[in-house]
Amino acid sequence: MHNLLELFLGILSAMGGFVDIGELVFTLNAGAKFGYSLLWIMLFGTVGVIVYGEMAGRIAAVTHLGIFDIVRDRIGFAAGLATLVAANLVNVMTCASEIGGIAIILKLFLGWPYRFLIFLVLFFLLAAVWFLPFKWIERTFGLLGLFMVIFIFSAVALQPDWSRVAAGLAPNVPEVREQSDYFLYAYFAVALFSAIMLPYEIYFYNAGGVEDRWKPTDITVNRFTSGLGFALGSLLAASLIGVGAEYLRPHGIADALLPGAAALGPMELYGKVGLAAALAGMFFAFSGAAIETALSAAYSFAQFWGWPWGKFRGPKNAARFYFAWIVVFSLAALLTLTGIDPVELVEYSIVFSIVILPLTYLPVVAVARNKAIMGKFANGRLANVLGWFYLIVSTLAALAAVPLLIVTHGGKG
């Protein structure tokens, strides 16, 4: 019974912790610009993140190795170091966007000055990570992030044409007004794929397995958590496409001012309760994501340089690991304090994420399939086929991402 409850809470935490500011921005705007046409990318990317999440969790359960332990070992020191630097540049950018997003949500709720709120958010996040045990961090932010289900209720209440929703689940090219819109569609497809398969989610999921002291007997828990948790989380993200398609698009909004504009639909449908639920959901979801990015950066540094790491060790036994996440939070807050637009920042961090994605996913699939390392827990045929397939797709997406960013004027059109 206890194990079932743990599994249930784990799945719900994975669901509530799935959406971050990057997903919010790209799903809502994808719906506003292209209706349901990009739903298939959500489906496609969700299978990918489940495949790699499951592998990363299994590696943690069997070998207790972190992602950057294997990055350094598999792709060599020089390329590993370049990947480490690029991955953490993206982590800091993403963390800064999350902090900026949280500060905007608080500003919309409390009306206090933005820069003061950035400091408040920084202290809140530092205190949360310092004082809460790892499992509590996962559960608190994951479960409270479930306030985001207001977007599922809203997407359904907006009475979508279900045949159009179903049509969007199959790969398609929408009817567009101009030739340049095809590039914009491709840009959004790549960015949505990247937002779902963000590398930091895999670093964090893998490190979480080590933090929670997973053993090979936990592999079934890992399968359910990554499979069901990520799938339900993706449903939540897909509902944002629905809100964009049914609420923003008919009003002629193609580029919403987020995160505030996301709350307009729930507010119109459910009044102030809808507003409170939407703001609370985004607050906890972005806070969880900010913590994940900062901890992921610290995990990757510690794993790459061979420092002792893990919340479970405490600050005395993992001083450099603790120092690393404090520095990442502080750098991200400083970046936000410059006045940079967090939404614009996250758009770039998502595009850069896809560029480094193959560099971190290649070692994962290489280790997960290796019988000498994983023994009887090595990939089966299906995991191997899917793993290599998604690696090839993410490499193609990585090669297309920057040219598309340039051609579409930074995703503007």
Partner 1 sequence: MPRLRKRGSHVRLESALLLFFAIGLLFLFTRTLNKSLDAAGLKIEAGDLRSVVAQAALIAGVAAQGKMTATFFRKQLNMLQDRVDKTLQKLSMAEPKSEIESKLAVAVQLARASRAELSKLGSAFGAREETAMAKRELEDLARQLWSLEQAVAA
Contact assessment for residue 52 and residue 203, using Cβ atoms and an 8 Å cutoff:
no
Task: Please state, in angstroms and rounded to a whole number, the distance separating the CA atoms of residues 56 and 75.
Answer: 17
User: 29 or 234, CB closer to partner 1?
Assistant: 29
**396 contributes a contact to partner 1 by CB under 8 A:** no
**271 contributes a contact to partner 1 by CB under 8 A:** yes
Residues 64 to 83: which contact partner 1 by CB under 8 A?
Answer: 65, 70, 73-76, 79, 82-83
Task: Please state, in angstroms and rounded to a whole number, the distance separating the CA atoms of residues 239 and 242.
Answer: 5
Among 127, 257, 392, 396, binds partner 1 (CB under 8 A): 257
Contact assessment for residue 349 and residue 99, using Cβ atoms and an 8 Å cutoff:
no
Task: Please state, in angstroms and rounded to a whole number, the distance separating the CA atoms of residues 208 and 202.
Answer: 10
Q: How far is the CB of 67 from partner 1 (least distance, A)?
A: 14
Q: Which residues contact 173 (CB under 8 A, 6 or more apart)?
A: 37, 182, 185
User: 118 or 221, CB closer to partner 1?
Assistant: 118
| The residue to which tokens 């505030």 are assigned | 260
> What are the structure tokens assigned to 200, written together?
């930091």
**406 contributes a contact to partner 1 by CB under 8 A:** yes
What is the Cα 382 distance to its own chain's centre? 25
**180 contributes a contact to partner 1 by CB under 8 A:** yes
Stretch that binds partner 1, among 147-155, 291-299, 311-319, 405-413 (CB under 8 A): 405-413
Residue among 366, 362, 361, 396 nearest 198 (CA)? 361
Apex 43 CA angle, 41 and 47, nearest 5: 115
User: 117 or 137, CB closer to partner 1?
Assistant: 117
Phi, psi (degrees; rounded to nearest 5) at 388: -70, -40
Task: Please state, in angstroms and rounded to a whole number, the distance separating the CA atoms of residues 387 and 113.
Answer: 46
Q: How far is the CB of 144 from partner 1 (least distance, A)?
A: 20
**337 contributes a contact to partner 1 by CB under 8 A:** no
**384 contributes a contact to partner 1 by CB under 8 A:** no
**28 contributes a contact to partner 1 by CB under 8 A:** no
**358 contributes a contact to partner 1 by CB under 8 A:** yes
Contact assessment for residue 394 and residue 198, using Cβ atoms and an 8 Å cutoff:
no
**126 contributes a contact to partner 1 by CB under 8 A:** no
**251 contributes a contact to partner 1 by CB under 8 A:** yes
Task: Please state, in angstroms and rounded to a whole number, the distance separating the CA atoms of residues 262 and 360.
Answer: 32
Q: How far is the CB of 268 from partner 1 (least distance, A)?
A: 5
**343 contributes a contact to partner 1 by CB under 8 A:** no
Q: Which parts of this chain interact with partner 1 (CB under 8 A)?
A: 63, 65, 70, 73-76, 79, 82-83, 86, 104, 107-111, 177-178, 180, 251-257, 260-261, 263-264, 267-268, 271-272, 274-275, 348, 351-352, 355-356, 358-359, 362-363, 366-367, 370, 372-373, 395, 398-399, 401-402, 405-406, 409-410, 412-413
